[in-house]
Amino acid sequence: MEDKIRVLLSEEEVNQRISEVAEKINKDYAGKAIHLICILKGGVFFTCELAKRLTMPVSLDFMSVSSYGDDTKSSGVVRIVKDLDESLKGKDVMIVEDIIDSGRTLSYLIEVLKQREPASIRLCTLLDKPERRVKKQVKVDYTCFQIPDEFVVGYGLDYAQKYRNLPFIGVVEL
């Protein structure tokens, strides 16, 4: 049976907003290099689009962190599935996420990465659900969209590994 998906943010809206956020990052990091940490799997679409629009030297690494499994709600248990390949010592780091809701995953991840002695850590997300935030100390530096508490797919976000390839952000009508 096919799931019904309602468009929340069109492909054009998403692309425009990524360009606007990239402009702000370009200003904030002028004269510096930036090390992007893409949070797999969902963050890869956003990370690639963002990186294409950045004008400073960019290096890139990947982490896979899980707290969902095949459900629509976070389990609350955070696991590092794939760790970084490079040292963060002395680097200006930006964690790039597809979506932040409870903040549990990012709270845990930021603490782990701080121990690796980066010069700075900032957080950039495509989507933010601030009303779901449990970990209030998670500060998002760059947000493309704040969205309501609905289960979204597309642009890297999935439902049981489906719909990542949609070029827009949609809501699965369960």
Which positions are annotated as active-site residues?
Answer: 101
Q: How far apart are CA 154 and CA 162, in angstroms?
A: 9
Compute the CA torsion angle 113, 147, 144, 162 (nearest 10 deg): 70
Q: Which of 117, 122, 98 is nearest to 29 (CA)?
A: 122
Report helix angle 43-52 to 11-28, nearest 10.
Answer: 60
Buried b / exposed e across 99-135, counting CB within 10 Å, b at 16+?
bbbbbbbbbbbbeebeeeebeebbbbbbbbbeeebee
Nearest-angstrom CA–CA distance, 50 and 20: 10
